[in-house]
Amino acid sequence: MPALFPLFADLKGRTVLVVGGGVVARRKVTALMEAGARVVVGAPQLAEPLAELAQAGRIIHRQGLFEPTWLDDAWLAVAATDDVETNRAVAQAGEARRIWVNVVDDAELSSFQVPARIERGPLQIAISSGGGAPMLARHLRERLETQLDESLGALAELLTRSRERIRERVPDLQARRRFFDRVLAGPVPGLLRRGAHVEAERALDDALAESPARSSAGRVALVGAGPGDAGLLTLRALRLLNEADVILHDRLVSPQVLALARRDAELIEVGKQAGGHSVQQQRIHELMLEHARAGRHVVRLKGGDSFVFGRGGEELEFLHAHGVAFEVVPGITAALACGAYAGIPLTHREHAQSVRFVTAHCKGDAKDELDWANLAAERQTLAVYMGVGGLDGFRRKLIAHGRAASTPFALVENGSRPEQRVIIGTLADLAETAAEHAVQSPALLIVGEVAALAHSLHWFGAAPLSGSPVRYAQAA
């Protein structure tokens, strides 16, 4: 069977007949009205809100049972009754008069079909399975909905508005193609995404003023990759991964997330292990600059959120100082992910009225600038981002400054990942319990009464582990 021929019809001011006055008819009427059609609804009676629309004169009601003469002034017809015979009669009458008829949910009787579609302003994407697999078309539509940014509508409008200007300035078709490639790869889409419409228009003007030979400006997106589970990425992060030329990622970013990157994007691991030094940070800065200046779309991808113990601030300051355009996409930080995936609410009306995100390197170094008295206060939760090496020192200081040795803790290793482990105990036994279970990085330490809730609220992965009673006896 030959494939259907796709077609976008201009229905403005043209008469379209809809046969049927119920819910299905109403859906079709709404879509036709949006396209500016003059809608005639033929049915014995109309259900609300069609009756109301007829009353207001926005549609025309033909009362009665379908007659072929109803089609006389119509360009198109839709049969939307629940009566197969009526629908068939409309289809046959349409066929005889060469008027396109869609019979709702009946591909066989239809001479035209209405596609599943995605709308972004004047931009429309229509999907058809030929009528045989509408569910597949719907599924695809949902996927595309998540991938295509809302701001595409504004982009289509801007380009429509500027069409004449662009033609005048770049009359040659080939050159115009290159110009559009350059604009679409440049800062205009990103500006629109941020809602900066005036700046976007100006950037388009700049691109028009530029000599066509100059390459487009690159840009850097600082993107939070979340804790590992790719389902925790934001839609915007996903889109940027799809558009990236170069992705500079930390070691902490999971393979599941990297698998979502554009296939021909260049992946560069710039991860630093705990204790990694500033030479590496310098190298990251250089790479960002080099690729952005070459006109590429750079995604700087970090575990969790870039602004939570991620040095995102320093990287932006650097980009700002070098005049490179950037945007920031937040990610789910380890504290939120580990709390959620371990069944530990970070605040709780009965146990903790505040939560602190802390990072600690307690290897006995002099650089300890933490306010221990405050950290040891009751009725708060500590979410501690650290390597597992510092647990002993951390516990000692906290207890020395007054936090009860019986305060519950939870260590969440590989939070949100399939191999996640949760280890629970009390502060007194923190280091020993961690050693007993050989807890590895990345692990987040949660200290506070709420940590004990993981016993009852855990839902993801294996049940929480705790320290062995024999060892407690030895320690006592």
Distance (Å, rounded) from C-alpha 450 to C-alpha 353? Answer: 11
Number of residues that bind ligand SAH (CB under 6 A): 24
The verdict on 330 binding ligand SAH (CB under 6 A) reads no
Q: Is 367 a catalytic residue?
A: no
The verdict on 338 binding ligand SAH (CB under 6 A) reads yes
Contact 60, 40 (CB under 8 A): yes
The verdict on 326 binding ligand SAH (CB under 6 A) reads no
In terms of Cα–Cα distance, which of 398, 381, 396 is closest to 346? 381
The verdict on 309 binding ligand SAH (CB under 6 A) reads yes
Position among 115, 343, 387, 408 found at the interface with ligand SAH (CB under 6 A): 387
Classify burial at 172, counting beta carbons within 10 Å of its beta carbon; exposed 0-12, middle 13-18, buried 19 or more: exposed
The verdict on 390 binding ligand SAH (CB under 6 A) reads no
The verdict on 464 binding ligand SAH (CB under 6 A) reads no
Nearer to ligand SAH, 53 or 338 (CB): 338
Position among 59, 301, 340, 386 found at the interface with ligand SAH (CB under 6 A): 386
Of 66-74, 112-120, 135-143, 296-304: span binding ligand SAH (CB under 6 A):
296-304
Of 18-26, 108-116, 211-219, 331-339: span binding ligand SAH (CB under 6 A):
331-339
Of 60-68, 303-311, 424-432, 447-455: span binding ligand SAH (CB under 6 A):
303-311
Position among 81, 87, 110, 333 found at the interface with ligand SAH (CB under 6 A): 333
Q: Is 250 a catalytic residue?
A: yes
Neighbours of 419 (CB within 10 A): 10
Of 13-21, 81-89, 136-144, 307-315: span binding ligand SAH (CB under 6 A):
307-315
The verdict on 339 binding ligand SAH (CB under 6 A) reads no
Of 84-92, 131-139, 198-206, 380-388: span binding ligand SAH (CB under 6 A):
380-388
Residue 268 has what DSSP assignment?
E
Contact flags string 245-284 toward ligand SAH, x per CB under 6 A: -------x--------------------------------
Position among 302, 397, 403, 421 found at the interface with ligand SAH (CB under 6 A): 302
The verdict on 233 binding ligand SAH (CB under 6 A) reads no
| Diameter over CA atoms, the chain | 97
Least Å from the CB of residue 309 to ligand SAH: 4
Q: Which of 250, 302, 397, 429 is catalytic?
A: 250
Neighbours of 101 (CB within 10 A): 24
Least Å from the CB of residue 305 to ligand SAH: 4
Position among 94, 415, 448, 464 found at the interface with ligand SAH (CB under 6 A): 415
Distance (Å, rounded) from C-alpha 309 to C-alpha 257? Answer: 20
Nearer to ligand SAH, 129 or 333 (CB): 333
Residues, the chain, total? 476
Position among 442, 448, 464, 467 found at the interface with ligand SAH (CB under 6 A): 442
- Binding-site residues for S-adenosyl-L-methionine: 227, 303-305, 308, 333-334, 386, 415
Nearer to ligand SAH, 192 or 450 (CB): 450
Nearer to ligand SAH, 218 or 415 (CB): 415
Least Å from the CB of residue 424 to ligand SAH: 15
Contact 155, 195 (CB under 8 A): no
Least Å from the CB of residue 413 to ligand SAH: 6
100-139 residues in contact with ligand SAH (CB under 6 A) are none
Q: Which residues are catalytic?
A: 250, 272
For ligand SAH, the binding residues (CB under 6 A) are 227-228, 252, 302-305, 308-310, 333-334, 338, 385-387, 412, 414-416, 441-444
